[in-house]
Structure 1
């Protein structure tokens, strides 16, 4: 991730704007939009506002853990994209393609995304919930 710092800085620095964007995305929350837009919809939803407050006020050690989750989610997401290279091959010589590879990778990826939500104490966002689930 371009916004992730390394070394000792990781311990004491808050999440960068890029990391906040990735956090929201991995947690299933929509883009926040421009600060000056006047239409900051997340402010009108208690969970969204709490999520923003939590991400921006992590203790230094919590920032390290959040970055670990972000790095793992990015790695798993990239692996899903790479798995598409094998979708056209079922068998090559003795090699057999795992037909459920993409589904298995998505399951692992979504598990880490939910763990990030649990770590931050925020329910998964709309993008991480089943499409047929209605929340009131």
Structure 2
């Protein structure tokens, strides 16, 4: 079974808000998806009912995502340097890392069969006319 920290991380990586003192169940979670014809499951249910081999895959995703997330923060440390001796920063490093991080977040959503949450979105930019 995933730890409480892994459950919270999975939810956050998938773009869903934290739960606070609300205990989600099969009927009270904003994150849900249709898994078969006429049958819906919540994210909380999906995460707490994984088979051992599925749990191992999700745990590996969480480790990868934690590394990608910290890589974005580390890359941001170099934003103040444009050139230093021979070294020259990659101007698109932070956006490249963010794009890869968000790609992995969406893959986790796909793996669990739950659509990306509000803070992750669907990866498109809507265009509207004024």
Band the TM-score falls in, shorter-chain normalisation: 0.7 to 0.9
- Structure 1 residue 95: Cα displacement: 1.1
* 1:102 matched residue in structure 2: 94
Q: Map 1:1-16 to 2 at 5 A.
A: 14-16=1-3
* 2:10 matched residue in structure 1: 23
TM-score, normalising length from structure 2?
A: 0.81
Segments of structure 2 that go 5 or more residues without pairing to the other structure are 34-40
* 2:20 matched residue in structure 1: 33
Q: Map 1:30-69 to 2 at 5 A.
A: 30-35=17-22, 43=28, 45=30, 47=32, 50-69=42-61
How many residue pairs were aligned?
117
- Structure 1 residue 44: Cα displacement: 5.7
2:52 and 2:43 map into 1 onto residues whose CA distance is 17
Higher helix share: 1
- Checking the alignment, whether the CA contact within 8 Å between 2:15 and 2:119 is kept in structure 1 is yes
1:32 and 1:62 map into 2 onto residues whose CA distance is 23
RMSD in angstroms over aligned alpha carbons?
A: 2.3
Tell me the SS of whatever aligns to 1:128: coil
Higher strand share: 2
Extract structure 1 runs of 4+ deviating beyond 3 A. Answer: 130-133
